[in-house]
Structure 1
Amino acid sequence: MKQVLYELLHELLMNNWRYFFKGSVLTALNSKEETLENEQQFVAIMQSYGQSFLQTDITVFRQNLESLEKLNSKWRLYKKPIFYSGMQTQFMNVLLQVLVHKSHDLLQEEIVVTVYNMASVDFDRFYGEFLPQFLTGCERLDGTQKNMLTSNFKPEKDLPTFTQSLQRFVNDLRYYRLLNTGLPEGSVQFS
């Protein structure tokens, strides 16, 4: 039932985009943003996508990840102000947590590509704001380890290097957590 519901939401967005984003050729030519209408409905749909990434159903997860990518490809979803300023951080946070916890490891490659596409809207923001903010919310890491993780994530803008850096970041984060979990309280932590 979930798959059918999300397929319906995907088709609604793909084929009725103008219901949410009013624009014209003149708007596009003048480099102006489309006006957002029916914001509550759009936000509710995006929140339902976000909720699906918190579930264990890998089929729905894959379907919705592909749906977001198709919406971005056709309508540049990730560049829309409503998504960029209000939702992007939450989506990237959830996707990185999924990578860290290996809950949907079969989709690792697809998740990394989606994170890359979201980050590519503004790499400076990703490296300067998102990564430090993400690490602030990570438990079982000390300040030195967080700094090492941030500094070791090379600020590259091409997909292959970004993929490699993100995979190293996730593996190092897992390693530090494992290391810190195994240490008794008050002992020295290695970084």
Structure 2
Amino acid sequence: MRLFGMFLQAIQSVDNGQRLAISCLGSARESLDFMIQVFDSLIKEVDKSLAQNFIESVVSLISSHNCISSLLSLGRGGLLLLHKLMRLIGMVVSCPNSAFLVSSNSNIRAGIVHLCFDQLYSALSGRTTVGESNSALLDLREMHYQLMHKILSSRWNWFFKPINREFESEEGNKFFVKAMEIYFSSFQDMTLPPSTYGYNLSVFNDLQKVHKLYSVQLFKTEMLPAFTETLLTAMMDGSRQILHDELVLTVFGLASADFNLFFGQIVPRFVSKYSNPQATIPNFATSTDFPSFSRNLKFFINDIKV
């Protein structure tokens, strides 16, 4: 662990000597590969407290050194190291034997969520690269969304109490809102690769199926209309035509949470953004079964495009 910390410190020296930082990347990746193997053994065969101390130290090292931005500036090698870091965190949050993650006195939850929802997202958003590194950056962004999905799906109890579905804490409330803001931003981004955009749509469908996301009071009252209108707007964009079926399925799920709200407020407000709205509203019949809804939504979008 100390050796990995030394590598991170060296990587942080990028401003004073990029050659030194780059030379440490290979050693840091090898060290992290070893740490992943160690964690896998600890969580399966050894006292869980050792695994807890191990992963808490890793998260603390990454956060304290604030190395994410430095790694991103080092090209493909830095992106690969970040990829391995996210793989390790993904193993932690999705491991069914990670009993320490539900411990009330554990600091790991806050550290992991802050690292993923704040530090990683802030560093990745708006970052651009050229050439070979661009593909690696896109892969890293998709892996970040996958990691967020694992956290929300596997550790829903970090955000909500299991019985009354109220927020587990003010911090749980804050990070849930942050997660939704990140996904909302991704749905607005028409430059996002269709594979990544489609994956995020599947995340929402999964969270609704497993955890009834659309029934969460905060989401239903303050977020659902904006998400629905954003996805309707995405259906108007030619770059998202390949995702038509996925978009219809997600819009139907959102509409199903409150059809009266959808047909009575969301659709008229969406139509009002376009010319000649009186000609388009009647074309969206208020059927609530999926086959009819899907067919009517297709006609509705086509009418607005005209």
State the TM bucket, normalised to the shorter chain: 0.7 to 0.9
Structure 2: gaps (5+ residues)? 1-139
Give the letter aligned to residue 173 of structure 1: I
2:197 aligned to which of 39, 61, 64? 61
Match of 2:41 in 1: none
Task: Report whether the alignment pairs 1:45 with 2:186.
Answer: no
Match of 1:171 in 2: 302
Distance in 1 of aligned mates of 2:216 and 2:239: 29
* Residues 73-125 of structure 1 deviation map (CA, whole Å, 9 limit, x = unaligned): 00010111111111111111111111112221111001001000110111111
Distance in 1 of aligned mates of 2:249 and 2:186: 18
Distance in 2 of aligned mates of 1:73 and 1:54: 23
Q: Indicate the structure whose relative CO is greater, using CA pairs within 8 Å and at least 6 residues apart.
A: 1
1:129 aligned to which of 259, 265, 269? 265
Match of 1:93 in 2: 229
* Residues 120-162 of structure 1 deviation map (CA, whole Å, 9 limit, x = unaligned): 11111110111111112x24x03xxx12211221000100100
State how 1:1-191 maps to structure 2 within 5 Å. 1-24=140-163, 27=164, 34-36=165-167, 37=169, 38-55=172-189, 56=191, 57-136=193-272, 138-139=273-274, 141-142=275-276, 146-175=277-306
Max Rg structure: 2
Distance in 1 of aligned mates of 2:250 and 2:238: 16
1:54 offset after TM fit, Å?
2.2
SS at match of 1:104: helix
SS at match of 1:156: coil
Distance in 2 of aligned mates of 1:92 and 1:103: 18
- Structure 1 vs Structure 2 CA RMSD: 1.1
Distance in 2 of aligned mates of 1:117 and 1:99: 15
Distance in 2 of aligned mates of 1:58 and 1:112: 15
Distance in 1 of aligned mates of 2:226 and 2:198: 18
**Number of residues of Structure 1 aligned to a counterpart in Structure 2:** 162
1:51 offset after TM fit, Å?
1.0
Distance in 2 of aligned mates of 1:125 and 1:132: 10
Give the letter aligned to residue 129 of structure 1: Q
Structure 1: gaps (5+ residues)? 28-33, 176-191
Distance in 2 of aligned mates of 1:63 and 1:116: 17
Match of 2:129 in 1: none
Distance in 2 of aligned mates of 1:102 and 1:90: 21
Give the letter aligned to residue 135 of structure 1: V
Q: TM-score, normalised by structure 2?
A: 0.51
Distance in 2 of aligned mates of 1:169 and 1:103: 18
Distance in 1 of aligned mates of 2:281 and 2:152: 36
Give the letter aligned to residue 160 of structure 1: P
Bigger fraction of residues in helix? 2
Runs of 4+ aligned residues of structure 1 deviating over 3 Å after TM superposition are none
SS at match of 1:23: coil
Distance in 2 of aligned mates of 1:117 and 1:102: 22
